[in-house]
Amino acid sequence: MRHFFILSLLLLASVSHAQMNNNSLEKVLQANVDSISGQAGRWQALSNEVSLIILTDEQNNRMRIISPITQITSLDKDLLLDTLTANFHSALDVKYAISNGILWSVFVHPLDVLTEQEIKSAIHQVTAAAITFGTTFSSTPLLFGGEATQRKIVERDSIIFKRT
């Protein structure tokens, strides 16, 4: 009897958890970005003056929120190394990636298990990583490890502030 009760609770929990799809994602996006256009599975949005592209593939259960940052031709070796280091320490759930000659801020996740809170966080992190590129390279105030990384960020910010 006890096993039946536990199994029933697990089954109820899995049934009550609605799967994310294009329709439910669009509703969450509309409530959490400044503007949105496009069609199901291919949206363009603006959040905090940052351009976002949201792409889904329901058949293969994938979703991406991406933001273009700069042409890779404008990046020198040191900036690329700082970007890769940020992927480990400060970009967290978002990563910097290169595709078609553009550096992007990218969040990739299976679509059907996404929660509304994860989507809100992803929008914030993609936006923050795009805004902080070249300074703190961070998607949140949290940094994982690397005193050297934190020193380099402070040094870089000092140089940037002296120039302006």
Taking the CA atoms of 57, 60, 65 and 71 in sequence, report the sign of the dihedral they define: negative
pLDDT for 35-88, tens place per residue? 999 999 999 999 999 999 999 999 999 999 999 999 999 999 999 999 999 999
pLDDT for 44-59, tens place per residue? 999 999 999 999 999 9
Name residues whose C-beta falls within 8 Å of residue 18's C-beta, 6 or more positions apart in sequence: 24
From 108, 160, 109, 151, select the one nearest 132 (Cα to Cα).
160
Residue 147 binned pLDDT confidence (cut-offs 50, 70, 90): low
pLDDT for 1-26, tens place per residue? 665 556 555 554 444 456 999 999 99
Under 8 Å between Cβ of 111 and 23: no
Under 8 Å between Cβ of 58 and 21: yes
Sheet holding 42-47: strands in order across?
35-39, 42-47, 50-57, 62-71, 102-110, 95-99
Could you tell me the pTM of the whole model?
Answer: 0.78
Sketch out the chain's domains with CATH numbers.
Answer: 2-163 (3.30.1460.10)
> What would the two tokens of residue 50 be?
């940052």
How is residue 108 annotated by DSSP? Answer: E
Regarding beta strands 50-57 and 62-71, do their DSSP bridges make them parallel or antiparallel, or are they unpaired? antiparallel
